[in-house]
Amino acid sequence: MAGEWYRAENLRALFARHATLSEEGTEIRLPAVLVPDAGNPHDDKAVAVFVDGLHVGYMEGPDARTYHQHIADLPGGELVVTSRQWLRAARGDTWARVTISLPAPEQLQCPNPFGPDCVSLPPGSTIQVTKEEQHMDHLVDLLDRYGSETVVAASLRSTIEQRPRSSVEVVAVDIDGQQVGVLSPTQTANLMPLVSRAEAEGKQVFCRASLRGNSLKADVALHARKAQDLDETELRELFASSSS
């Protein structure tokens, strides 16, 4: 990353929220949000990096030119990635470094399109899908169609799962119209508020998902912002854009 030196004040504010400033140096790990900055007067392919809502720098020029359009084309026009932040503060001086982890550019594109009039969740943390083994026939077909390791569009819906002594509402995950698994109770709680609101408005929720494996074992993981990670402005924009 580049430009941390020019945003020392923001970095100090970030560490003041989450750690104690130290002359020896302190490390924290928070997600970073990558946002293309086409209006940048110095480089129209610049990609700004935000952590906890604070602008902490830019992607290095070569990486930015590679990823700028890929990120701009994503639902929401931004990408959330894992990140490490380090800062050392002494006598008013600040030394800082922000490191981000990037997927391959081709993994940001979905070969199957999102559905019409849908709510497209912005990319976010990785959410593991469970019970894929119950849907291997369809998963093998998908792997044959899209490859053994790719990113595809997945849709989310509420469903009732029958258990030996009870029934419970869970979030089911579909790819190309057929189920590939369900979310755990914890992850269902994280995404069900979004799914329920969309379904109440007659819409479907889509997000990016990693698909990998073979005819013996397949794995699906979602990449999406959770309900609690979206503020009121983001929620309004998310559901307003699905109506346009």
Q: How far is CA 213 from CA 34, 43, 77, 150, 217, in A?
A: 28, 39, 29, 10, 6
Token readout for 117 is: 């009039």
Q: List, edge to edge, every strand of the sheet that includes 26-28.
A: 26-28, 83-90, 93-100
C-alpha torsion sign, points 7, 12, 17, 19: positive
The Cα 98–Cα 85 span in angstroms is 5
- 228 class by beta-carbon count within 10 Å (0-12 exposed, 13-18 middle, 19+ buried): exposed
For 38, the domain range is 4-105
Last residue of a domain, one of 86, 105, 124: 105
pLDDT at 167: 93
Last residue of a domain, one of 105, 135, 150: 105
Whether residues 49 and 115 share a domain: the answer is: no
pLDDT at 110: 79
Query: What DSSP character marks residue 2?
Result: B
Among 35, 29, 32, smallest CA distance to 52 is for 32
Average pLDDT per block of 10 residues along the chain, 244 residues long: 73 85 83 90 93 92 92 77 84 82 76 81 88 97 90 94 91 97 97 97 92 95 92 88 60
Last residue of a domain, one of 105, 137, 165: 105
Whether residues 40 and 122 share a domain: the answer is: no
Whether residues 98 and 127 share a domain: the answer is: no
How many residues does this entry show for the chain? 244
Whether residues 95 and 202 share a domain: the answer is: no
Whether residues 59 and 148 share a domain: the answer is: no
- 156 class by beta-carbon count within 10 Å (0-12 exposed, 13-18 middle, 19+ buried): buried
pLDDT at 4: 62
pLDDT at 212: 92
Whether residues 123 and 16 share a domain: the answer is: no
Whether residues 138 and 94 share a domain: the answer is: no
* Domains held by the chain: number: 2
pLDDT at 125: 82
199 neighbors 157 (Cβ within 8 angstroms): yes
Whether residues 75 and 116 share a domain: the answer is: no
pLDDT at 58: 93
Whether residues 191 and 90 share a domain: the answer is: no
pLDDT at 154: 95
Whether residues 128 and 222 share a domain: the answer is: yes
pLDDT at 108: 73
Coil, strand or helix at 195 = helix
The Cα 199–Cα 179 span in angstroms is 17
pLDDT at 88: 83
The Cα 24–Cα 26 span in angstroms is 7
The Cα 110–Cα 2 span in angstroms is 29
pLDDT at 184: 97
User: Looking at residue 83, which CATH number applies to its domain?
Assistant: 3.30.70
Whether residues 100 and 114 share a domain: the answer is: no
Whether residues 131 and 74 share a domain: the answer is: no
Among 174, 169, 241, 185, smallest CA distance to 211 is for 174
